[in-house]
Amino acid sequence: MQTESHVLDKPPPGAADDWTIPQDWERYTEEEHATWDILFDRQRRQLPGRASERFLAGVDVLKLSRPGIPDFEELSARLMDATGWKVVAVPGLVPDDVFFDHLANRRFVAGNFIRRRDQLDYLQEPDVFHDVFGHVPMLADPTFADYMAAYGRGGLRALEFGALDHLARLYWYTVEFGLIAEPDGMRIYGSGIVSSHGESVFALDDPSPNRIAFDLKRVMRTNYRIDDYQQVYFVIPSFEELLRVTVETDFAPLYAELERESDLGPADVLPEDVVLTAGTQDYARQKAAE
């Protein structure tokens, strides 16, 4: 989900009306391909036993005919066969209505640049590794692929209600930073976690954050931070349940309720919360003191 204001109000030169641009795979340097390979290899080795089984299964869609940054055309062909999705390149952040329309039509927008070697562990703006390694494996799962398309349709409706801030929290705490309860334990699936070497450990192992059972309204009341590890993670029981709740909920009255209620901070815990692990919040306090 896009988290910063947009500078441009129309497609930049070279972009189509829907803001897509050619990936220009041939322009990537050996250094850029090598950076992808470093990032891919260390996450591939780190994530078994941490990431959802469905994410790990979806990683196979990224194992293409050449090493380095995936060619979006080749990747889209494999993804289309799996779930009817494709990956399209964009010049950066796009307007919300454009973003939602792409999702609703099973097109995932991805930046086509990659971070530098000195940015391996943190980059504020999503690059091709976050967008492709983080998101695409889950788009190869039919249930999650349907959830993403449903979210896109819901986003277009949310614009009509002026409720985008609330809906953005759902994306943040599921697509970007979601956890799932699997038979062998809690696992990560959110793209912001699986693409991060540090947070893929922190999200499961650190005693600092709260881990709370997913509740749609609770999630949509909760603010988030974009510049550090999360203070709370919401844990879904299954992808099927996440999809069911999303498509069966009438969001219009929910938005009205949310407007009447106060927002919650990332560290807040309510009496009715199902707290799976109670966090110490030590990490957040330490960072605040620095």
Q: Does the pLDDT at position 145 exceed 70?
A: yes
pLDDT mean over 222-250: 96
Q: Does the pLDDT of residue 286 top 70, yes or no?
A: yes
**pLDDT over 60 at 32, yes or no:** yes
Amino acid at 192: G
Quick one: pLDDT at residue 12?
Answer: 86
Tokens of 135: 């998101």
Per the CB < 8 A criterion, the answer to whether 169 and 219 are in contact is yes
Mean local confidence (pLDDT), 2-16: 67
CA distances, 102 to each of 109, 155, 180, 182 (Å) = 7, 11, 26, 30
| N-to-C CA span, the chain | 29
Average pLDDT, the chain: 93
Residue 283, pLDDT above cutoff 50: yes
Domain presence at residue 112: yes
What is the average pLDDT across 9-33? 92
Return the half-sphere exposure (C-beta side, CA atoms, 13 A cut-off) of residue 217.
17
- pLDDT above 90 as % of the chain: 82
Instruction: Please report how the helices 72-83 and 142-161 are oriented relative to each other, as an axis angle in degrees rounded to 10.
Output: 100
- State mean pLDDT over 242-253: 97
Residue 87 lies in a domain: yes
Name residues whose C-beta falls within 8 Å of residue 277's C-beta, 6 or more positions apart in sequence: 207, 210, 211
Using the predicted structure, report yes or no on whether residue 274 has a pLDDT greater than 60: yes
What does the pLDDT average to over 198-226? 97
Position 105 scores a pLDDT of 98
3 falls in which pLDDT band (50, 70, 90)? Answer: very low
Q: Is residue 161 part of a domain?
A: yes
Q: Is the pLDDT of residue 277 over 50?
A: yes
| pLDDT above 90: residue 243 | yes
Q: What is the rounded average pLDDT of the residues 86-107?
A: 94
Question: Longest Cα pair distance anywhere in the chain, in angstroms?
Answer: 55
| Res. 234: pLDDT tops 60 | yes
Does residue 279 surpass a pLDDT of 80?
yes
> What integer pLDDT is reported at residue 126 of this predicted model?
83
Residue 143 is assigned to a structural domain of this protein? yes
More confident residue, 14 or 83: 83
Question: What's the number of domains the chain is made of?
Answer: 1
- Written in H, E and C, the secondary structure of the chain is CCCCCCCCCCCCCCCCCCCCECCCHHHCCHHHHHHHHHHHHHHHHHCCCCECHHHHHHHHHHCCCCCCCCCHHHHHHHHHHHHCCEEEEECCCCCHHHHHHHHHCCEEEEECCCCCHHHCCCCCCCCHHHHHHHHHHHHCCHHHHHHHHHHHHHHHHHHHHCCHHHHHHHHHHHHHCCEEEECCEEEECCHHHHCCCCHHHHHHHCCCCEEEECCHHHHHHECCCCCCCCCEEEEECCHHHHHHHHHHCCHHHHHHHHHHCCCECCCCCCCCCCEEECCCCHHHHHHHHC
Residue 8 counted as domain residue: no
Half-sphere exposure of 116 (CA within 13 A, CB side): 2
Q: What is residue 8's predicted lDDT score, i.e. its pLDDT?
A: 60
pLDDT at 48: 97
Q: Residue 190 sits in which domain range?
A: 25-289
Q: What pLDDT sits at residue 92?
A: 82
For residue 71, the domain's CATH number is 1.10.800.10
Is 111 within the bounds of a domain?
A: yes
Confidence of residue 4 (pLDDT cuts 50, 70, 90): very low
| 149 in a structural domain | yes
Task: Please report whether residue 10 resides in a domain.
Answer: no
Q: What is the mean pLDDT of residues 33-48?
A: 95
For residue 6, pLDDT over 50 is answered with no
pLDDT in tens, 113-143: 998 887 777 767 789 999 999 999 999 999 9
pLDDT average, residue stretch 77-104: 95
